[in-house]
Structure 1
Amino acid sequence: MATAAHRNATQSATSRGTTATRPTAPVALGLALAVLATLVWSGSFVTSRALGDSVPPVQHAFWRWVVALAAVAPFGARRAWRQRELIRRHLGFVALAALLGVTVYNTLVNQAGVTTPAANMGMIMAASPVLMALYERAGGVRLGVRRVAGLAVACAGVLLLVGGDGASFSAGDLWMIAAACCFGSYSALLRRRPEGLDGAGFLFTTFLVGTVLLLPAQGVSLAVQGGFQPTPGTVWPLLYVGVASSAVAFFAWNKAISLIGPTRAGVVYYLQPVCVALLSWALLAEPTGWAQAGCMALILGGVVLGAGARR
C-alpha cells in the first residue's frame, strides 16, 4: 500500500514536471521560426532595392510567386486538394489572406524599392509589430507588462534609427507604410486560420490565389512597361525571393504565429531593420554609423525583453 502511494506520488510529480516543461518547447520553436523568417525576409528587402531599376515591381512580385508556387507544390498541392471542401467553406478567409500577404504586400514592397533605400524599408516595416499588437489586444488578448515594455523599447530604437541618423524619406516610403499595414493585418489574420486547415495546404492555396489575383496587373505591366531581360542578375534574386523569402519564410512565419501569437512574433520582427541595415551596408554599400549601431542595440534589447514569457 505504501509502495502504491509512493508510486502515485512519483507519477504525480512527473506529470507536474512534464506539464511545466511542455509549453517551453513550442515557444522556443516559435521564436526560432520567427527569427528564421525575419532573417530571410531581410534579404528580400535588399533584393527589392537591387532589382528596382531592372525588373518592374508587379513583374517582380508575379514571378516571385510563380517560383514560390512551384517550390511549395510538391508539399502543399496534394494536401490542399484533400482539404478542398474545408478551403471552399473558408474561401473568403483564404482570399483575404492571399490578397494581403501575397498580392498586395510584396507588390508594395517592390514599388517602394524603386526609390527607397533598403535600410529605410526595413525601418518602416518595423511599424508592423505595433499593428499586430493592437489587433491582438482588440481581440481581448492580455499582452503583459514585459511584452509591452519590449515592444516600446524596440519601437523607440526604430524611431531613433529613422530620425536620429537623419534618414531621408522619399515618396516610395508611403508605399512601404502601406506594405507594413498589409503585413501587420495579414499576421493578425493568421490567428484566425480555420482549425484543421493544414499549414502546407494553406500556404499553397494562398500562393495560388494571390498569383491569380496578380494576373491582371501583370498583363497591364507587360503591355505598358514591357518585359525584363532574364540575366543571372535578375533570375538568381527572383529564385531567392521565390524559394527562400516566400516558400520557406512564409511557412516559418505562419507556424510561428500559430505557436506564439502575432504580438510575440512581432517583437522578434523588430530584428528586421537591424538585419536589413547590415545587409544593405555589406551588399549595396548603403552607409551606416555608430548612431545606427546604438539604435540597433536598443532594438535587440527590446526584442530580448519582449520575446520572453508574458508577465
Structure 2
Amino acid sequence: MVTQSKTVWWALALPLLAVLIWSMNIAVTRYVVDYISPVSISFYRWLVAFLVLTPFMATRVWRERVLIQQYWKKLAVLAAFGMVLYQGLGYTAAHYTSATNMGIINAFIPIFTIFVSMFLLKEIPNRFAIVGSILSFLGLLYVMAQGNLAGLIQSGGHLGDVMMVIAVFFYAFYGVFLKKWQLNIPLMISLYIQIIFALLYHLPFVLWLGLEAINPQNISSVLYAGIFPSLIAPLVWMLAVQMIGPNRTSIFMNLMPVFTAIIAYIWLNEAWTVYHSIGGAIILLGILLAQKKPQTHIKASS
C-alpha cells in the first residue's frame, strides 16, 4: 500500500515538471527577442532536437519506413500546426507582448480545443463548456485590455496578444487532429518525423529572411528550446498520461500562467498587476467550468 502511494505521488510530479519546462520556455522566448530573430531560433530549436534524436532514431525509422509511408501526410499536417504555426507565431508574438500574457493566453488551449472539436469531430459542447468558454474569453479580453475594455476597442487590440491567441488556436487544431486520426505509430517515431517536416517548412523562411548566427548571448536559449521543451517535456508528459490518465494530466496545464508569471517576475522583472489577477482568475474559473461534465440521471426501474 505504501509503495502504491509513493508511485502515485511520483507520477503526479511528471506533468508538474513538464508544465514547468514549458513555462520556462515562454520566459526564454521573451528573453531572447533581443538576441535572435524568431525564424532563427525556431529553426535552430528543431535542428537541435533533430541532431539529438537522430543517433537513436535513424535505424528505427528506416525499419519502420513502410509504416511511416502510411502516415507521412498526416504527420506533415501535425508538424505544420504544432511545430511551425504555433511555435513560430509564439516566437514572433514575444516581440510585442509580455511572457506573463503569453502564459495566460496559453491556458486557453483547452477552451479552443472544445470548439475545434465541435467542427472537426462533431462533438457538441455541453452547457458548462459554453458558459466556461465565454467566461474565459471575457477574462482574456480583460487581460489584453489591461483592465480597460474601452481602450481595447479603440486600439483594436495588442498585436502580440492577438498573435498569441492565433498561435494557441492553431495548437488546438494540432490536439484535435491527434485525437481524430489516432495514428497507430510509435510516439517517438511520430515526434521525429514531425521534427523533420518542421525543418523542411522552415527552409523557405530561412532562405528569404536569412539565418542569424548562434553566439554566446543566444546559445543557451537555443539549446534549452531544442532539448527541454522539444524533447524532455513531451516525453515526461506522455509518460504522465500513461500513468495517471489524460484527464488528470491535462488539469496541470492550468498551472502554466502561474509558473510563467513567477518566472517572468523573478527573471524578466515583469510586473504582476491587478488586471492580471482579475483576468487570470476569470480565465481559470472558466477553464475549470468548461471541463465540468453534466450529471447523468439514471431512472430506477420499477
Report the TM-score range of the alignment, normalised by the length of the smaller protein: 0.7 to 0.9
Partner of 2:41: 60
Structure 2 distance, partners of 1:52, 1:128, is 24
User: 5 Å matches for 1:263-278?
Assistant: 268-278=252-262
Cα shift readout 1:265-287 (whole Å, capped 9, x = no counterpart)? 66543332222222111111011
Q: Which residue of 1 aligns with 2:299?
A: none
Q: Is the 8 A contact 2:115 2:125 kept in 1?
A: no
Confirm or deny: 8 A CA contact 2:96 2:159 kept in the other structure: yes
Distance 1:274 1:234, change over 3 A: same
SS in structure 2 at match of 1:192: helix
Q: CA deviation at 1:205?
A: 0.7
What's the counterpart of residue 224 of structure 2?
Answer: 240
Instruction: Render the CA deviation track for 1:110-134: whole Å, top value 9, x for unaligned.
Output: 1111122111222233332222112
Are 1:122 and 2:107 counterparts? no
Q: Is the 8 A contact 1:79 1:198 kept in 2?
A: no
Residue aligning to 2:233:
249
Greater shift in the superposed pair: 41-50 or 246-255: 246-255
Give the match for residue 298 of structure 2: none
Alignment counterpart, residue 50 of structure 2, candidates 69, 75, 84: 69
Q: Matches of 1:159 and 1:264 in 2, distance apart?
A: 28
1:243 is displaced (CA, Å) by: 0.5
Distance 1:305 1:79 in 2: 43
- Residue 106 of structure 1 corresponds to 87
SS in 2 for 1:276: helix
- The unaligned stretches of length 5 or more in structure 1 are 1-24
Identity value in percent: 25
Residue 285 (str. 1) matches residue 269 (str. 2): yes
Identify unmatched segments of 5+ residues in structure 2: 1-6, 296-302
Q: Deviations over 1:21-68 (max 9, x none)?
A: xxxx99x96x76554433222112211111112101100100011111
Query: Counterpart amino acid of 2:203?
Result: L
Shift of residue 97, structure 1, vs aligned partner: 0.5
Aligned residue number for residue 6 of structure 1? none
Q: 1:170 to 1:193 in 2, by over 3 A?
A: same
Which moves more between the two structures, 271-280 or 138-147? 138-147
Q: Which stretch shifts more, 72-81 or 296-305? A: 296-305
C-alpha distance in 1, partners of 2:180/2:15? 18
Any conservation in 1 of the 2:82–2:170 contact (CA below 8 Å)?
Answer: yes
Contact kept? 2:114, 2:129, Cα under 8 Å: no
Equivalent residue pairs, number: 281
Q: CA deviation digits over 1:212-244, x for unaligned, max 9?
A: 22112112222xxx624511x311111111101
- Contact preservation (8 Å) 1:71, 1:247: no
TM-score, normalised via structure 1 length:
0.74
Q: CA deviation at 1:108?
A: 1.0
Deviation at 1:76, TM superposition (A): 3.6
Task: Please give the root-mean-square deviation of Cα atoms over the aligned residues, in Å.
Answer: 3.6
Q: Distance in 2 between matches of 1:185 and 1:256?
A: 22
Is 281-290 or 88-97 further displaced after alignment? 281-290
1:136-151 paired onto structure 2 within 5 Å: 136-138=117-119, 139-141=121-123
Contact 1:80–1:202 at 8 Å: present in 2 too? Answer: no
2:180 aligned counterpart, secondary structure: coil
- Bigger Cα displacement from structure 2, 96-105 vs 74-83: 74-83
- Residue 252 and residue 185 in structure 1: after superposition, are their counterparts in 2 closer, same or farther (change >3 A)? farther
Asked if 1:196 is matched to 2:184, the reply is: yes
Q: Is the counterpart of residue 217 in structure 1 residue 183 in structure 2?
A: no
Q: Partners in 2 of 1:123 and 1:192 — Cα distance?
A: 27
How far did 1:93 drift?
Answer: 0.3
Alignment equivalent of 1:179, drawn from 162, 167, 189: 167
Partner of 1:95: 76
**Aligned equivalent of 1:81:** 62
| Deviation for aligned residue 1:153 | 6.4
**Alignment CA distance shift 1:36-1:162 (3 Å):** farther
Output one character per residue of 1:171-229: Cα deviation in whole Å (capped at 9) or x when no partner: 2333222211211111111113444300011101100111122112112222xxx6245
Q: Distance in 1 between matches of 2:57 and 2:181?
A: 16
- CA 1:306–1:130: 2 relative to 1, 3 Å: closer
For the Cα contact (< 8 Å) 1:130–1:151, is it kept in 2? yes
**Structure index of larger Rg:** 1
**2:215 aligned with 1:230:** yes
CA distance in 1, matches of 2:191, 2:203: 19
The residue type equivalent to 2:215 in the other structure is: P
TM superposition score normalised by structure 2: 0.76
